[in-house]
A = this chain, B = another copy of it.
Amino acid sequence: MLKEAIFHRPKNNFAYAYNETTLHIRLQTKKEDVEAVELIYGDPYIWEDGEWISLKKPMNKTGSDDLYDYWLAEVSPEYRRLRYGFALKSEEETIIYNEKGFYEEEPKDCGLYFCFPFLNKIDVFQAPTWVKDTVWYQIFPERFGNGNKENDPKGALPWGSTDPSTTNFFGGDFEGVIEHIDHLVELGITGIYFTPIFKAKSNHKYDTIDYMEIDPQFGTKETFKKLVEVCHENGIKIMLDAVFNHSGYFWEPFQDVLKNGEKSKYKDWFHIWDFPVVTKPKPNYDAFAFVSDMPKLNTEHPEVKDYLLEVGRYWVREFNIDGWRLDVANEVDHQFWRDFRNAVKAEKEDVYILGEIWHDSMPWLQGDQFDAVMNYPFTTATLDFLAKNKTKATEFANSISKVMHSYPINVNEVAFNLLGSHDTPRILTICEENKDKLKLLFLFQLSFVGAPCIYYGDEFSMTGDQDPGCRKCMVWEEEKQDLNMFAFVKKLIGLRKELPVFGNHGDIHFIEANDETNHVMYEKVSNSTGERILFVVNNSDKDLVVTLPDGVKGTVMRDLWNG
């Protein structure tokens, strides 16, 4: 066996509490190198005649990527304490692997084994349970619907009259969302993620002027309250966008610093390198990227922190929102997010906290900070295969497996699985307007583990390049809507609701990934009911004949799609 490839370390995706009574233990081994693995485990304080008393149970191979196989065992330790190691078997040998290294025989001292010291309830990663069954829908509020012309910003253009630019406005607002609530209900989505709605200057509103005010172009606090109520009545949750990494240029404290320099009482609310503050040619303060209009906030400063935590609490308390999406979340300090979690969850226990992180996010997903991150590794793997043809079936399956094994299973179940957003080209555009590909994308997204998010208009086959192109006005003229695509997405969402195993109540396994035909076959299996759904994704323009896997042949199957 290749010892160098064998990896385990507790308290991350390799060993974690799945719930208040169950631990998940995972192991990495070289791909196709190990035949079987057993978990050796026991309570550290149960000994007999100077020997630690341990049990064994087989681990299941849950997947592979290009280099490694991954193994999993579930344990519910009676006294919530665990010491454990691994017995690895290949044709040639059996070796024992524990914290101290490799052994030929099982050591009898549990001090040498891995340690999960105690399953404390408060440390368990616990996202709100409703998220597991949510289908999100992202709305860029300036472009979804204009329900009230009176609050249109000056110079607003007629709806959809031209392409979006970085500066133009079309007057989208809350009443526009309320007006079109039937569309959302019919589609079947159960959560809306709004990009920022607070007072700001730009059309995207990421340059906050006032965190405590609604941007007047969207409506009043009253309208927003009504919107939340209407959505809740229709079983739709509401998530807002918290831009706490940086403020906008016109935020009062920053204006004060610009005006009063070192004398400003807000001078330590930012990271100013020297005074006077200059914005050109480059800002002499920390900013988002190097954008002088977006000065980075000093979230370590107690006043800034108090202010932003109150923002977090305020919109939950007063407007009963259900979630916060955190912009540029990984550039803000961990300590801030720990306190943010405590603050907003104290207001409403089942608020969902979603961080925008494009990279490996394990440090934020330990239970003390976020409930989820935007699952860009899923996005990339899926688009590379299905939309861009950059990868073949095997690489796709490997990448997806890698993502899934990078996080605990309870983290995967609430991941925010997006295919596109206001920050990326429209997925149909990435597909070079091949609608069959778009359908495969929706199929995979909506049958995958996690909480899928549909970017407004994708269900009508809208197109658009990298922003601002991807921020077109929503099409409301029926003749311009792709009703076929709408029906397709609606049907998938319906299946997800009707059959728990279609969505988050089934484990996913890849059965086949074939680079020649470029298809993948995967199944979703319910541990509780035994129900099984078989999916075949044919990512080519040729017809495909597949061989059903063992265990399926001879059983009664139902064609889910054609009834």
Q: A317: CB under 8 A from chain B?
A: no
Among residues of B, the one whose C-beta sits closest to the C-beta of A81 is B331
With contact pairs A68-B4, A335-B122 given, residues A359 and B81 touching in the complex (Cβ less than 8 Å): no
Q: Which of A111-119, A149-157, A195-203, A497-505 contacts B (4 or more CB under 8 A)?
A: A111-119
Q: A330: CB under 8 A from chain B?
A: yes
CB 8 Å contact bits of A36-73 with B (1 = contact, 0 = none): 00000000110000000000000000000011100000
Among residues of B, the one whose C-beta sits closest to the C-beta of A33 is B4
Can you list 8 pairs linking A and B with CB atoms under 8 Å apart?
Answer: A4-B5, A4-B67, A10-B363, A45-B290, A117-B331, A118-B332, A121-B300, A338-B368
Which residues of B have CB within 8 Å of A290?
A: 45
Which residues of B have CB within 8 Å of A101?
A: 66
Shortest 10 CB-CB distances between A and B: which pairs? A120-B333, A4-B5, A117-B330, A45-B289, A115-B359, A118-B331, A11-B363, A122-B300, A122-B335, A122-B333
In this complex, the interface size class of chain A, counting residues with CB under 8 Å from chain B, is 35 or more
CB 8 Å contact bits of A327-363 with B (1 = contact, 0 = none): 0001111111010000000000000000001111011
Is A99 touching B359 in the complex (CB atoms < 8 A)?
Answer: yes
Is B67 touching A3 in the complex (CB atoms < 8 A)?
Answer: yes
Q: A557: CB under 8 A from chain B?
A: no
Is A333 touching B68 in the complex (CB atoms < 8 A)?
Answer: no
Q: A79: CB under 8 A from chain B?
A: yes
Residue from the set A3, A67, A120, A359 with the largest chain B CB neighbour count within 10 Å = A359
Q: A7: CB under 8 A from chain B?
A: yes
Q: A256: CB under 8 A from chain B?
A: no
Is A359 touching B121 in the complex (CB atoms < 8 A)?
Answer: no
Among residues of B, the one whose C-beta sits closest to the C-beta of A11 is B363
Is A99 touching B360 in the complex (CB atoms < 8 A)?
Answer: yes
CB 8 Å contact bits of A375-389 with B (1 = contact, 0 = none): 000000000000000
Nearest CB in chain B: distance from A287 CB, A: 9
Which residues of B have CB within 8 Å of A5?
A: 4-5
Is A335 touching B123 in the complex (CB atoms < 8 A)?
Answer: yes
Choose one: B10, B68, B330, B359; the contact of A118 (CB below 8 Å). Answer: B330
Is A334 touching B300 in the complex (CB atoms < 8 A)?
Answer: no
Bound-state CA distance A334–B30 (Å) is 33
Which residues of B have CB within 8 Å of A330?
A: 115, 117-118
Nearest CB in chain B: distance from A179 CB, A: 38
Nearest CB in chain B: distance from A365 CB, A: 12
Bound-state CA distance A11–B330 (Å) is 12
Q: A435: CB under 8 A from chain B?
A: no
Q: A552: CB under 8 A from chain B?
A: no
**Chain A interface, >50% SS class:** loop
Which residues of B have CB within 8 Å of A30?
A: 4
A-to-B contact residues, CB < 8 Å:
2-5, 7, 9-11, 30, 44-45, 66-68, 79-81, 99, 101, 111, 114-115, 117-118, 120-123, 286, 289-290, 299-300, 330-336, 338, 357-360, 362-363, 366, 368
Among residues of B, the one whose C-beta sits closest to the C-beta of A406 is B9
Nearest CB in chain B: distance from A466 CB, A: 12
Residue from the set A7, A332, A334, A357 with the largest chain B CB neighbour count within 10 Å = A334
Given contacts A4-B67, A123-B333, A363-B366, 10 further A-B contacts (CB under 8 A): A9-B360, A11-B362, A44-B289, A45-B289, A80-B286, A99-B359, A117-B357, A118-B330, A122-B335, A338-B338
Residue from the set A81, A333, A368 with the largest chain B CB neighbour count within 10 Å = A333
Which residues of B have CB within 8 Å of A366?
A: 363
Is A334 touching B3 in the complex (CB atoms < 8 A)?
Answer: no
Choose one: B66, B114, B332, B357; the contact of A359 (CB below 8 Å). Answer: B114
Is A334 touching B4 in the complex (CB atoms < 8 A)?
Answer: no
Bound-state CA distance A368–B337 (Å) is 12
Is B331 touching A368 in the complex (CB atoms < 8 A)?
Answer: no
Which residues of B have CB within 8 Å of A80?
A: 286
Bound-state CA distance A5–B67 (Å) is 10
Bound-state CA distance A99–B359 (Å) is 8
Choose one: B2, B9, B363; the contact of A4 (CB below 8 Å). Answer: B2
Bound-state CA distance A338–B7 (Å) is 28
Is A368 touching B120 in the complex (CB atoms < 8 A)?
Answer: no
Nearest CB in chain B: distance from A71 CB, A: 15
Among residues of B, the one whose C-beta sits closest to the C-beta of A68 is B4
Which residues of B have CB within 8 Å of A338?
A: 338, 368
Is B115 touching A300 in the complex (CB atoms < 8 A)?
Answer: no
Is B4 touching A111 in the complex (CB atoms < 8 A)?
Answer: no
Nearest CB in chain B: distance from A385 CB, A: 14
Which residues of B have CB within 8 Å of A114?
A: 359-360
With contact pairs A4-B5, A10-B360 given, residues A334 and B66 touching in the complex (Cβ less than 8 Å): no
Is B123 touching A334 in the complex (CB atoms < 8 A)?
Answer: yes
Which residues of B have CB within 8 Å of A118?
A: 330-333
With contact pairs A66-B101, A332-B120 given, residues A79 and B4 touching in the complex (Cβ less than 8 Å): no
